[in-house]
Amino acid sequence: MVQQAFPILNEYPPQRIEFLSPENKDAKIEGEGWSRILDATWDRLYRESPERLKVQVADGPGDQQASE
């Protein structure tokens, strides 16, 4: 579903796409203060949805080394 909303994500396998929720309302987009949303949590989000979500692509094998 997220790949339909954001076509650029079609370049990545679904298992590398991560959803994060802010740990508090002051969390900045870059940096600390975000927790990954696990599969078991999605059901609860229907009742208690966060105001913001962050979508990111996790590093694949060798990605971090290539950027250094």
Residue 66 has pLDDT above 80, yes or no: no
What letter would DSSP give residue 37? P
- pTM, rounded to two decimals: 0.69
Strand order in the sheet with 17-22: 34-36, 17-22, 54-57
CB atoms within 10 A of CB 51: 7
What letter would DSSP give residue 11? G
CB atoms within 10 A of CB 58: 12
Strands 54-57 and 17-22: antiparallel
Q: What is the pLDDT of residues 40-65, one digit of tens each?
A: 888 887 788 888 888 989 888 877 66
Q: Which two tokens stand for residue 60?
A: 């694949």
Please tell me the predicted confidence (pLDDT) of residue 67: 59
